[in-house]
Structure 1
Amino acid sequence: MLDLADELHRWCAEGRAFAVATVVAVTGSAPRQPGAALAVDADGTVIGSVSGGCVEGAVYELCQAALVSGESVLERFGYSDEDAFAVGLTCGGVLDVLVTPVPADGPDRPVLAAALATAARGGTAALARVAAGPAHLLGRALLVTPDGGVTGTLGGTEALDRVAGLEAAALLDVGRTGTVEVGEGPGEGIATPGAGGTAAERPARTGSRCGEPVTLLVESAVPAPRMLVFGAVDFAAALVGAGKFLGYHVTVCDARPVFATARRFPGADEVVVEWPHRYLDSQELDHRAVLCVLTHDAKFDVPLLERALRLPVAYVGAMGSRRTHEARLDRLREAGLGERELGRLRSPIGLDLGARTPEETALSIAAEIVAVRRGGTGAPLTGARTPIHHDHRAAWATGPRNGLPASL
Structure 2
Amino acid sequence: MESIHSILKAIQGSAQKSVLATIIHVEGSAYLKEGTVMLFQEDGTRIGMLSAGCLEDDLALRAVNVLNKREAETFTYDMKAEDDLTWGQGAGCRGVLYILLEPVDEKLKKYLGVVKEFLDSGIPVQHVKELTNDFKQTGYGFFTATGQTFGNIDEHQIKMPENKRASGIQLVGDAPMCTYFHLYRPKPRLIVFGAGPDARPLVSFAAEIGFSVTVCDWRPAFCREEYFSSADKLTVGFPEDIVPKLELNSDDYVVIMTHHFQRDQEILSLLKNRPLRYAGILGPRKRTTRLLQTEEIPEWLHSPVGLPIGARGPQEIAISIAGELIQEAAKMKG
* TM-score, scaled to structure 2: 0.79
Counterpart of 1:56? 56
- Select 2:232's aligned residue among 258, 261, 269: 269
Contact 1:9 1:117 in 2 (8 A): no
Show the 5 A alignment for 1:390-401: 394-395=331-332, 399-400=333-334
1:113 aligns with 2:110: yes
- The amino acid of 1:350's aligned partner reads G
Residues 162 and 364 (structure 1), Cα distance of their counterparts in 2 relative to 1, 3 Å cut: same
2:70 and 2:231 map into 1 onto residues whose CA distance is: 43
1:253 aligns with 2:253: no
Residues 326 and 28 (structure 1), Cα distance of their counterparts in 2 relative to 1, 3 Å cut: farther
SS of 2:25 mapped into structure 1: strand
Residues 116 and 169 (structure 1), Cα distance of their counterparts in 2 relative to 1, 3 Å cut: farther
How many residues were matched structurally? 328
Contact 2:127 2:140 in 1 (8 A): yes
Counterpart of 2:251? 288
Counterpart of 1:357? 313
1:162 aligns with 2:156: yes
Residues 366 and 125 (structure 1), Cα distance of their counterparts in 2 relative to 1, 3 Å cut: closer
Where structure 1 has 5 or more consecutive residues not aligned to the other structure, the ranges are 182-205, 334-338, 375-393, 401-408
Contact 1:131 1:138 in 2 (8 A): yes
2:229 and 2:11 map into 1 onto residues whose CA distance is: 28
Counterpart of 2:125? 126
Q: Summarize deviations over 1:81-129 as a string: whole Å, max 9, x none.
A: 474641137242425333233274xxxx414432146427835463634
Q: CA RMSD in A?
A: 3.6
- Select 1:178's aligned residue among 139, 152, 167: 167
Residues 39 and 268 (structure 1), Cα distance of their counterparts in 2 relative to 1, 3 Å cut: closer
2:49 and 2:285 map into 1 onto residues whose CA distance is: 42
- The amino acid of 1:179's aligned partner reads G
Counterpart of 2:4? 2
Contact 1:30 1:91 in 2 (8 A): no
Counterpart of 1:214? 178
Contact 1:30 1:94 in 2 (8 A): yes
Q: Summarize deviations over 1:195-249 as a string: whole Å, max 9, x none.
A: xxxxxxxxxxx521x3642312334252x32111112322123322222222222
- The amino acid of 1:347's aligned partner reads S
- Select 2:188's aligned residue among 219, 222, 225: 225
1:358 and 1:83 map into 2 onto residues whose CA distance is: 42
SS of 1:75 mapped into structure 2: strand
SS of 1:167 mapped into structure 2: coil
Contact 1:100 1:139 in 2 (8 A): no
1:315 and 1:103 map into 2 onto residues whose CA distance is: 37
- Select 1:314's aligned residue among 271, 277, 290: 277
Residues 169 and 150 (structure 1), Cα distance of their counterparts in 2 relative to 1, 3 Å cut: farther
* TM-score, scaled to structure 1: 0.67
Counterpart of 2:97? 96
1:136 and 1:78 map into 2 onto residues whose CA distance is: 16
Contact 2:24 2:168 in 1 (8 A): yes
| Greater relative CO (CA pairs within 8 A, separation 6+) | 1
Where structure 2 has 5 or more consecutive residues not aligned to the other structure, the ranges are none
Hey, which bits of structure 1, 4+ residues long, moved more than 6 A? none
- The amino acid of 2:298's aligned partner reads L
